[in-house]
């Protein structure tokens, strides 16, 4: 992505107020998106099959090693010692057999716990996005470079990845695993079905931290990241469908929050088009 790529975020008034008051960006876990897109966080079957094959290979190697140990038990061991060894091998075999179901749940949990903040990439505002997300609110406009610079970069700040969503036809039989990653090698949270391509989404995401090699399942949760609001906002556009009361409220919010009113304007999407006929005068 280029620093001058234009990004929009369409917000209802309450979320705009929350942004400028808290000076944070809200990151929601992918688990919260399951009702609008059950495939959030997943990839096409061919990619998941490729990952599962790695887990299957690991399991098979473990089972083979256990079988080799069992077949090489010295014949001179006592019955008590033999029983102890077989019980240990039985437990190891049980652990190996549980590897695939465990990794299945871990994959689901990693996806569900990935936290995202979503933007629309376009040089122009979108009537469709107004209708979907912000009919009576605002659209904030920034650029990739301004957004990156505005994010908190302190030692306590989480690692944030930013990139364009890759849209794929999940039913395409010609897909290869290599097709199922973005240009910068990302997959979880960055691949969506082609039906959502109208969103032209750029997404920031934070992977949930896990302690060491822990396989514990985590509860999905949201987080907030500090942001320099004034540095991030290049313009605030009021919805063409919003009434005068909303416009007054937006301007008032900007005044008391320190956002310059000079960057606030009303969308001209529904302005009168009669000027196009001026040549007939």
What residues form DSSP beta bridges with 139?
Answer: 10, 237
Please answer whether residues 246 and 239 qualify as being in contact, where contact means their C-beta atoms are separated by less than 8 angstroms. yes
DSSP class of residue 50 equals H
- pLDDT higher than threshold 90 for residue 9: yes
In a domain, 118, yes or no: yes
- What pLDDT, on the 0 to 100 scale, is given for residue 80? 87
- Does residue 147 share a domain with residue 214? yes
- Does residue 261 share a domain with residue 220? yes
- pLDDT higher than threshold 70 for residue 212: no
* Start-to-end CA span in the chain (Å): 47
Average pLDDT (137-160) is 89
In a domain, 53, yes or no: yes
pLDDT digits (tens, 9 = 90+) for 55-86: 999 999 999 999 999 888 888 888 888 899 98
Task: Give the tokens for residue 181.
Answer: 């990653």
| Domain ranges, residue 222 | 6-28+114-152+201-280
Q: Which residue has the higher pLDDT, 139 or 212?
A: 139
- Does residue 133 share a domain with residue 102? no
CA distances from 115 to 41, 205, 225 (A): 10, 5, 11
In a domain, 196, yes or no: no
Q: Which residue has the higher pLDDT, 155 or 245?
A: 245
In a domain, 36, yes or no: no
What is the rounded average pLDDT for all residues in the chain?
Answer: 92
Q: How far apart are CA 110 and CA 189, in angstroms?
A: 10
- The bridge status of strand 166-168 relative to strand 115-121 is unpaired
- What pLDDT, on the 0 to 100 scale, is given for residue 126? 94
Count of domains in the chain?
2
- Confidence band of 51 (pLDDT split at 50, 70, 90): very high
Q: How far apart are CA 94 and CA 251, in angstroms?
A: 64
- pLDDT higher than threshold 80 for residue 154: no
Cβ-based neighbour number of residue 274 at 10 Å: 7
- Does residue 206 share a domain with residue 235? yes
- What pLDDT, on the 0 to 100 scale, is given for residue 1? 84
Average pLDDT (267-275) is 89
In a domain, 37, yes or no: no
The string of DSSP letters for 116-168 reads: EEEEEE-SS--HHHHHHH-TTSEEEEEEHHHHHHHB--STTSPP-EEEEPEEE
- What pLDDT, on the 0 to 100 scale, is given for residue 274? 86
- Does residue 262 share a domain with residue 127? yes
- What pLDDT, on the 0 to 100 scale, is given for residue 119? 97
In a domain, 82, yes or no: yes
pLDDT digits (tens, 9 = 90+) for 235-260: 999 999 999 999 999 999 999 999 99
Strands (E), the chain: 6-11, 24-29, 115-121, 138-143, 161-164, 166-168, 191-193, 201-206, 223-226, 235-238, 264-266
């Amino acid at each position: 992505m280029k620093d001058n790529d234009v990004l929009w975020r369409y917000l209802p008034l309450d979320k705009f107020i929350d942004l400028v008051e808290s000076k944070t960006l809200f990151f929601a876990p992918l688990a919260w998106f399951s009702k609008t897109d059950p495939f959030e966080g997943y990839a096409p079957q061919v990619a998941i099959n490729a990952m599962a094959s790695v887990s299957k290979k690991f399991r098979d190697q473990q089972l083979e090693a256990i079988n080799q140990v069992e077949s090489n038990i010295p014949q001179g061991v006592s019955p008590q010692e033999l029983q102890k060894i077989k019980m240990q091998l039985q437990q190891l075999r049980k652990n190996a057999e549980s590897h695939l179901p465990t990794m299945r749940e871990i994959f689901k949990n990693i996806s569900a716990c990935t936290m995202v903040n979503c933007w629309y990439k376009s040089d122009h505002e979108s009537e469709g996005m107004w209708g979907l997300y912000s009919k009576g609110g605002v659209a904030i406009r920034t650029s990739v470079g301004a957004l990156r610079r505005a994010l908190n970069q302190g030692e306590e700040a989480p690692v944030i990845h930013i990139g364009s969503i890759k849209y794929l036809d999940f039913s395409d039989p010609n897909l290869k695993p290599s097709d199922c990653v973005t240009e910068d090698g990302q997959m979880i949270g960055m691949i969506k079905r082609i039906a959502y391509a109208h969103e032209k989404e750029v997404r920031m995401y934070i992977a949930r931290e896990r302690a060491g090699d822990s396989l514990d399942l985590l509860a999905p949760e949201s987080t907030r990241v500090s942001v320099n609001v004034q540095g991030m906002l290049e313009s605030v556009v009021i919805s063409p469908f919003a009434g005068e009361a909303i416009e007054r409220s937006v301007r008032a919010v900007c005044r008391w929050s320190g956002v310059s009113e000079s960057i606030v304007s009303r969308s001209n999407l529904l302005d009168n088009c009669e000027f196009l006929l001026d040549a007939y005068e």
